[in-house]
Structure 1
Amino acid sequence: MSGDPGRRTRPLAGGCVWVLLGGLLLVVLGLLAAGVLLPRGLGRPAEPKSSVPDRTSAELTRERLETAAGDGKLTDAEVEAATGPHPHTRESDGTAVRIVVTYPDRPGDPGGCYRFVLPLPLSLDTRVALPPRDEGCTRR
């Protein structure tokens, strides 16, 4: 009786499991290879791993200026710390403080001139928008 379930042997059942596991492994390896090789094959270069931080110099300056304005005043030392070694000017007209900073070009950070406007009065709620590069300022 070849159709009798009691006469089945274990190697046949075990062999099916190994065939299924082997097939599953091949599918997973194929998907991984396609995920790595396919983007390169379509003419798109792989994303470069950059050592440059995700935030640009202008974004860091904006964050530092907001933090410095939190105590209600903005000293020259705080502006120097926020802008770092980059050339900058500062103007105030009673309604806002305007700081213009010029950054050099770097890989991943295009540089340029940025004008930061801090509305008065300064407080913890002061927000500084990150303007488009070169808007509202002239290079020196």
Structure 2
Amino acid sequence: MDRWHYPRHKLCDYILQGMQQGLLERVTFFAPRKRGKTQFITRDVIPACDNIDVLPIYIDFWSDKDSPQNAFIDAVTTTLESRRNLFSKILAKLKFTPAVSSSGVTVKAEANATSAQRPTLHSVFDALNTHNTPILLLLDEVQHLAT
């Protein structure tokens, strides 16, 4: 435990329980710099989400100052990829796609892509919409979108 972090478990529980019960839909924190907003998200909210089967996705819009859109895409795809099981990760790296049919499971090899491309914003939102667990988007440095 970091001795400089002041845990705010009551606030975290209040927010997450309010969201689960449908009482809160969005929460925004405004405060001057260096007041612990990011620490609260990363050290209190994200670990608490794991305990209630909610997928937290932390997006720092300053991580790609030239393209906040790419910061969003990269954060979502990295988080979703980290949650995939080992078998599906191996198949994805090898460019194989499993398919279930009446005769069993077949594996289809995909054509070798010449260059890896970043997913589109649209495809990332599609992935979020089809995910099977509740998702909590944690947007940090949102003011950068205005620049």
TM value normalised by structure 1: 0.18
Larger radius of gyration: 1
Larger relative helix fraction: 2
TM value normalised by structure 2: 0.18
